[in-house]
Structure 1
């Protein structure tokens, strides 16, 4: 099964093609919230928890909002900042309203996910006018750039920039999730495909691969994992440059010519426990050079330790 097949299966199972064709926001919202729930934990654990306890949904949150919640934090997307709901202690920034509040009712894995679900709902309601498809179309149509690279970056920022302020979502999870959505419904929106294939999700595995191989050092771009990965000369830019030199149609004729998301995903698969399980902290002592001599990249890899050892 190819990378595109995996995306297509997910889009089909979630009903995203139909939802986009009909501009039906609730199924898209439900899928986004479910996908966000995979942050910070293994997919298996997250999936088992959701199977047992369920997920947040547009219909449930919308119904609770119709009852005019008393909490001032739920009045609008802008009021929601600083909710601070904590599931374990059952506390928040407005304790006088928490007993009647609907936000804690979805039995999610932690309180941050409850906040994410409501923050995203309020974003879609108040900024996107309940129309995620129309909002995405408008954001992409309004992006400008004098070159293809600038236009790609502008389109990504047009989506990621506003959503970056939704509580609890990082650039990485936004890139991963939106790229799947944009690529998965490509038959309905060719422009979405162009944007989705150019998105790059940098996690610690991808960053550490670029460090260990010496690519960051050779590009004079050594940096810690974090925001710098998406900055000038960072991990994303390096992968994008490499991807521009690879015609992925030679690997699969149904792929687009340039497919940065696929290149990034290939690096991730090389490293991931769920993939080839090569370049990661389980196989390599972070304080020493990699010793996996049978790796195809071994002779060309700089094998730089992830952590420098301090002399004693």
Structure 2
């Protein structure tokens, strides 16, 4: 029931409510690149590293770009493809320019994150004309669909599609970060909320829950975790279908009637160690059927062992 409150706290703490209202790109960029750095590692480890070493920022990258870097990869967003900077070996695709290159300067956890920060910066500069709020407004307003479901899908793809080409970001991290931003900006941008409430981030906990319970096998298209989660009959489609059958207002009157992002988050909380810590690999031997008899879902769950899944990845 505190789902929106938690999002609102994060938005306020990062200054994003004011940034959206004023169409101020730098604070939004700084929050995005920091959030992207939480990929592939525990939140605690990522947070500790950032607290110790700092993060990339719009102001620092913008200042470095004023010096006209010599590297041809930094000429534009389109030139940046194939940078291949590696922090450990201090190598890249243009070794003659690396000593003077500004890209390695932020002391990020690995070289991929440095590439992500610069790739996103150039995306906003070159494709969004430096105005990320205006770009999001335009993308959402220009999306079209004959039905509500088609319109929701079109709006989502209008944002995720172009950003998918930013180096080092996955659909999952884009869904997670953008949904938080869009939902948190609902006071100033009601259309953002309409789009953010349907964005679903399917991580391994959510996918594995749908497998163990038998929901994925009976209601969707069985697949391994990955791109198939967002395809036809995948995890995201199942969750949206379920969300349309739940009146979220019965849980919190300020919620919209259909709230797919909340339903996905509720599944994640049920599984996560930081949540109810029930349906996960720490509690269940993945080779065997679940034996947690006190679980509220036990009598209705198919309890399919996770290690027995032999699905072919659906692209």
Matched with 2:91 is 91
SS at match of 1:225: coil
Residue equivalent to 2:59? 59
Counterpart Cα distance in 1 of 2:220 and 2:191: 34
Deviating more after overlay: 76-85 vs 215-224: 215-224
Residue of structure 2 in register with 1:246 after alignment = 246
Q: Aligned partners of 2:285 and 2:96: how far apart in 1? A: 50
| 1:72-93 deviation digits (Å, cap 9, x = unpaired) | 1100001101111111111111
- What is aligned with 1:287? 287
Aligned to 2:30: 30
Distance 1:134 1:21 in 2: 11
What does residue range 188-199 of structure 1 map to in structure 2 within 5 Å?
A: 188-199=188-199
CA offsets 1:235-264 (integer angstroms, 9 cap, x no match): 000000000011111000111111100000
| Counterpart for residue 12 of structure 1 | 12
Hey, what does 1:237 align to over in structure 2?
Answer: 237
- The number of equivalent residue pairs is 310
Give the structure 2 partner of residue 155 of structure 1.
155
Shift of 1:283: 1.1
Q: Which residue of 1 aligns with 2:118?
A: 118
Please give the TM-score of this superposition, normalised by the length of structure 2: 0.97
Instruction: Tell me if structure 1 keeps the 8 A contact 2:220–2:234.
Output: no
The offset of 1:200, in angstroms, is 0.5
For 1:292 and 1:90, how far apart are their aligned partners in 2?
49
Deviations 1:196-228 (A, max 9, x none): 001010011100000000001111411111111
The 3 A distance-change label for structure 1 pair 148 and 220 is: closer
Give 4+ residue runs of structure 1 displaced > 3 Å after superposition. none
- Structure 1: gaps of 5 or more residues: none
1:81 correspondence with 2:69: no
Q: Secondary structure at the match of 1:198?
A: coil
Which secondary structure state, in structure 1, belongs to the residue aligned with residue 193 of structure 2? helix
TM-score (structure 1 length as normaliser): 0.98
Aligned residue number for residue 258 of structure 1: 258
Q: Give yes or no for the alignment of 1:187 onto 2:187.
A: yes
Conservation of the 8 A alpha-carbon contact between 1:287 and 1:309: no
Distance 1:220 1:111 in 2: 38
